[in-house]
């Protein structure tokens, strides 16, 4: 029986996945343009939404940088450059969060209320080091008993999603075995983490369309929805 819900944050509870993606695009395009000798240079190939979904979405910051660069065959960058790209993106993300305010999906708020009222215990497991500020900005902290975020992942030296470690820590801190917890994810890497951890149920939340739902099922999602309120009784 499921007694605990482990929610990813950006893209599942809040609309901030879009802010992350846009900030990543600016940071990577600046890096790629400089490397190619300008945005007009023939060697410049921009960072796309599919690049984000395939290599960056759901992963801890620097894992995302390395995975994307590797996908372009860029393996000669040092650790300082990886950190610098991530920090540049973070500055832009924080700027847009301050402007946008970090909106919660209304359907997710309804689902959180229903889950809480049904006695389901709630935790958030996010790769983002900004998990705390995003929850606060969206006024969702009141629902959350335990939070595992990118700071915990770094401090504890855990493997990021698609490894199951952060979700396993979430279940452990909630005091339940993985089989007693459901995972809610919008990123393929996160669905893979839920499947690898053998959680009781893995819900894929498809916010992008295209072949994302199919990719989520292939990655191990038990069900795929477009919004959490599809899971509520009509
Ligand atoms: O750079 P941050 O805020 O620590 O976030 C790391 C990652 O956190 C995840 O939640 C997002 O899906 C990614 O887009 C983001 O890159």
Range(s) of the chain covered by CATH 1.10.150: 17-100
User: Is the domain covering 17-100 a CATH 1.10.10 domain?
Assistant: no
Whether 212 and 189 have beta carbons less than 8 Å apart is answered as no
Range(s) of the chain covered by CATH 3.40.50.1000: 4-16+103-231
Cα torsion 189, 223, 183, 187 to 10°: value is 20
Reported confidence tier of residue 78, pLDDT bands at 50, 70, 90 = very high
User: Residues 10, 152, 186, 206: which is the catalytic one?
Assistant: 10
Bridge partners of residue 185, in order along the sequence: 204
Whether 115 and 58 have beta carbons less than 8 Å apart is answered as no
Tens-digit pLDDT profile for residues 26-75: 999 999 999 999 999 999 999 999 999 999 999 999 999 999 999 999 99
10 is catalytic: yes
Q: Strands of 121-125's sheet, edge to edge?
A: 146-148, 121-125, 4-7, 181-185, 201-205, 223-225
Angstrom distance (rounded) from CA 169 to CA 14 = 22
Among 53, 128, 135, 153, residue to substitute to test ligand 1 (most atoms within 8 Å of Cβ): 128
Pocket of ligand 1 (CB under 6 A): 10, 17, 20, 56-58, 60-61, 64, 90, 93, 126-130, 150, 187
| Homologous superfamily in CATH for domain 4-16+103-231 | HAD superfamily/HAD-like (3.40.50.1000)
Tens-digit pLDDT profile for residues 194-230: 999 999 999 999 999 999 999 999 999 999 999 999 9
Q: Is the ipTM of this complex over 0.90?
A: yes
Nearest CA to ligand 1 atom 12: 58
186 is catalytic: no
Nearest CA to ligand 1 atom 9: 58
Bridge partners of residue 204, in order along the sequence: 185, 224
| pLDDT at 100 (0 to 100) | 86
| pLDDT at 135 (0 to 100) | 98
Nearest CA to ligand 1 atom 8: 128
User: Prior bond to 162 cis, omega within 30?
Assistant: yes
**Greatest Cα-to-Cα distance within the chain, rounded to the nearest angstrom:** 57
């Amino acid at each position: 029986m499921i007694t605990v819900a482990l929610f990813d944050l950006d893209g599942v509870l809040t609309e901030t996945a879009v802010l992350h993606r846009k900030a990543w695009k600016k940071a990577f395009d600046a890096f790629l343009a400089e490397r190619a000798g300008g945005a007009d240079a023939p060697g410049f190939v921009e960072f796309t939404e599919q690049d984000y979904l395939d290599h960056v979405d759901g992963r801890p910051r620097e894992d995302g940088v390395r995975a994307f660069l590797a996908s372009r065959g860029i393996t000669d960058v040092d650790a300082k450059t990886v950190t610098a790209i991530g920090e540049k993106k973070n500055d832009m993300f924080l700027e847009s969060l301050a402007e946008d305010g970090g909106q919660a999906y209304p359907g997710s708020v309804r689902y959180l209320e229903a889950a809480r009222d049904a006695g389901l215990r709630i935790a958030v497991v996010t790769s983002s080091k900004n998990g705390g500020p995003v929850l606060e900005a969206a006024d969702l902290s009141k629902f959350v008993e335990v939070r595992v975020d990118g700071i915990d992942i770094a401090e504890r030296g855990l493997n990021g999603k698609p490894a199951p470690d952060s979700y396993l820590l979430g279940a452990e801190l909630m005091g339940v075995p993985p089989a007693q917890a459901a995972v809610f994810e919008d990123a393929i890497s996160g669905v893979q983490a839920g499947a690898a951890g053998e959680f009781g149920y893995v819900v894929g939340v498809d916010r992008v369309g295209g072949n994302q739902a199919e990719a989520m099922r292939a990655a191990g999602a038990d069900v795929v929805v477009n919004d959490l309120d599809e899971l509520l009784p009509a």
